[in-house]
Chain A
């Protein structure tokens, strides 16, 4: 190849690569992005019924229940205005605690609850995940967590 050819091939290769990458990224984004919804947004019907998404908030103190000896655990996630019961079957992360921030991936069960496939609490224990922190509401007078 002459330098001129080489440059043309080079530019063509780069353009093709960038184009393919952009297309790919778009497709992958559409399929794999998880949107975040707070319990209030879910209550307002903003969350998708069919799709997987993330819900986050505080684990309401005293709400964690499990059937003795079973892996299934139930807890309530709240943003101080609305709450949603979450059901999960599996091992909870070390940082999962009542009164602390939590994010769960999963979908709605169609009966006002949320079925989590994954519960995340992988963050600094001093702070909440930023998206949870930003979505929290001030507590209701006399209501909320207590």
Chain B
């Protein structure tokens, strides 16, 4: 009964989304008050019914209703309650429903928080969001119904993929989707501006907080995914340049470029067309990412072949949404005003470089991700574009980006110049390079050029970001939330850079074969296998656990307990790493297999500064949050409407 209720709610949500689209767009075009008034309730209704549908699916999972095909395929009676709930978005159908829920949630937020926007503009935005919702709900209902019944019902489910039975990964998709879908708001604002022909600074001011909110979610989602990959995939990598990861990185790069160019558009009324295009691109890449990953076309051609209807629907949807937006852009964008000029060393110039470099990085990632697909489709051979390609090409735009960032933060608008901070910055740059060289030489035993440069750039940006706050403090200038947020976010980027440079340049990894009592040396530490315990019972698995003592001389520094788990639902064993976390370095051990003769294979790793990567991402999100909460957006958004 409950699944049917959910299904029915989904149908109602589709009808309301269609009403939202029609009312909003017609209202926006005609300016009729009754149409404009009816749009809001349609949005609220759509949200409520999608929420009901989602709740119905969650309840089916909690109750273990294995007569629902999707539940049977992704859950299991022995699954702990928490994972039974998170299993709701563990597969294709449920994650699409989550997508739809995020979209409805953002739409509702727009409806509630922008009551003071011009009514026609607001109606257009909601109407455009309605179109996207119609596409998604139609896709769900026609090709991926999560409530489809299984007849006869299964006695027990197939279980959630054990890799997904983890806290970080349970909350990673919702954050990622909030980010992806959040760009839909920026997209709708951009299209509404194009429709209305209002291509000015006001539009950018309205869009900025929404874009920041989406970007924050996406940043956190990606960081969480990377952290999960590090400790759960078992082998200590933090980024694999996997197509699935690239699919989330590309909208992030576009979104990062967008929040920067929005700043220029808001402040100076410049780059209007470019900003519009980025807003369209960020959401298009989100859609592309969702569908490429969800359709499975990147992982296995088989996954796609089993259901070509899905592929066709996706393509049609992308063509309508993205094609429509780009067509609108080609039609309306030539009307945008050209705007004023600016000096070479001005903030505008730096932000222009920022955008150019981010887009180059985006293009290189896109190329590396799609190129093998193209070659394969054209039957020109099978290649794989691995991490070496991405690492090589990604650095090239990123190094100048981080270098210029340290200067750009201090550059003035329009006329340029470093606001008297030039000498201080020169000192800071020199100091960063020196400290980096000393760290590299003293701690990690060697000045390698690239590693030292990476460390120096990280320190440089961190110092420069602090200088922004300090200089304003000393001169008694006002310190608005946007500036504080910007400094914190950039400090975070510096920390992430530091972490990446540290771990990529100085990590040590070793595969060993150890028997109980034996030890292996790694980065000056001795990893000693104390013993193994078999048959350790977890809630739904049995594990073999190794006890590995990390010795610094005679002192026991840490004890690692890596596991090999076999889940009751069958399948391959899973590796659970043992990690000793530290601010300066992580010590890592993963248990391989029984080699015979009492020996087990172990992968041991020493990961310097790796925590900086995720801590930096957290600070970036925090900075975004502070900037988005600036009072100016609430106040001036209201004023603009009057």
Contacts and interface: CB of A to CB of B under 8 A. Distances in A.
A123 B298 CA distance: 11
B393 A25 contact: yes
Interface in A3-62: 3, 5-7, 10, 13-14, 17-18, 20-21, 24-25, 28-29, 31-36, 54
Contacts of B420: none
Contacts of A32: 385-386, 388-389, 392
A130 B300 contact: yes
B384 A36 contact: yes
A131 B339 CA distance: 52
B599 A68 contact: yes
Of the listed residues A7, A91, A127, the one surrounded by the most CB atoms of chain B closer than 10 A to its CB is A91
Contacts of A113: none
A33 B396 CA distance: 18
A76 B159 CA distance: 32
Contacts of B343: 1
Contacts of B389: 28-29, 32-33
Contacts of A69: 513, 515, 595-599
Contacts of B142: none
A125 interface: yes
A70 B597 CA distance: 9
29 contacts: A1-B343, A1-B344, A3-B340, A6-B342, A21-B397, A24-B364, A25-B364, A25-B367, A29-B385, A29-B389, A32-B389, A68-B597, A69-B597, A70-B599, A71-B595, A71-B601, A90-B603, A91-B511, A91-B593, A91-B603, A92-B593, A95-B572, A125-B571, A127-B300, A127-B302, A127-B303, A130-B302, A134-B382, A135-B382
Given A2-B341, A6-B342, 20 more contacts: A1-B341, A3-B338, A3-B339, A20-B396, A21-B363, A24-B392, A24-B396, A28-B392, A35-B383, A36-B383, A69-B595, A91-B603, A93-B235, A94-B234, A94-B575, A124-B299, A130-B301, A130-B376, A133-B301, A135-B382
A10 B352 contact: yes
Contacts of B381: 35-36
Nearest to B338: A3
A5 B341 CA distance: 8
A9 B98 CA distance: 44
Contacts of B342: 1, 6
Contact of B364 (A13, A21, A93, A94): A21
Residue of B234, B383, B574 contacting most chain A CB atoms (<10 Å)? B383
Interface string A78-97: 00000000000111111101
Contacts of B595: 66, 68-71
A34 B601 contact: no
Nearest to A27: B392
A42 B339 CA distance: 61
Contact of A34 (B339, B341, B383, B396): B383
Interface string B332-350: 0000001111111000000
Interface stretch (B118-126, B219-227, B353-361, B425-433): B353-361
B344, B356, B364, B384: residue with the most chain A Cβ atoms closer than 10 Å: B384
A89 B595 CA distance: 12
B391 to A, nearest CB: 9
B357 A17 contact: yes
Interface string A124-146: 11011111011100000000000
A94 B386 CA distance: 20
Interface of B: 234-235, 299-303, 338-344, 352-353, 356-357, 359-360, 363-364, 367-368, 371, 376, 381-386, 388-389, 392-393, 396-397, 511-513, 515, 571-575, 590, 592-593, 595-599, 601-603
A93 B163 CA distance: 14
Contacts of B382: 35-36, 131, 134-135
Nearest to A91: B592
Interface of A: 1-3, 5-7, 10, 13-14, 17-18, 20-21, 24-25, 28-29, 31-36, 54, 66, 68-71, 89-95, 97, 105, 123-125, 127-131, 133-135
Contacts of B384: 33-34, 36, 54, 131
A125 B383 contact: no
Contacts of B572: 94-95, 97, 125
A68 B598 CA distance: 9
Given A25-B364, A66-B596, A68-B599, A13 B353 contact: yes
Contacts of A7: 338
A91 B392 contact: no
Contacts of A14: 356
A53 B600 CA distance: 29
A3 B596 contact: no
A89 B575 contact: no
B46 to A, nearest CB: 34
Nearest to A134: B382
Contacts of A93: 235
Contacts of A6: 341-342
B600 to A, nearest CB: 9
A69 B592 CA distance: 12
Contacts of B352: 10, 13
Contacts of A134: 382
A132 B353 CA distance: 43
B179 to A, nearest CB: 25
B299 A123 contact: yes
B481 to A, nearest CB: 30
A32 B575 CA distance: 29
Contacts of A13: 352-353, 356
Contacts of B371: 29
A125 B574 CA distance: 12
Given A13-B356, A91-B603, A127-B302, A31 B341 contact: no
Contacts of B396: 20, 24
> Which are the 4 A-B pairs with shortest beta-carbon distances?
A69-B597, A68-B596, A91-B592, A68-B597
B515 A90 contact: no
Contacts of B359: 17
Nearest to B573: A94
Contacts of A36: 381-384
Contacts of B357: 17
B512 A71 contact: yes
Nearest to A29: B389
Contacts of A91: 235, 511, 590, 592-593, 601-603
A29 B357 CA distance: 20
Contact of A123 (B300, B386, B393, B575): B300
B163 to A, nearest CB: 9
Nearest to B510: A90
B385 A94 contact: no
B277 to A, nearest CB: 12
A61 B341 CA distance: 71
A72 B245 CA distance: 32
Contacts of A24: 364, 392-393, 396
A71 B595 CA distance: 7
Contacts of B303: 124, 127
B361 to A, nearest CB: 9
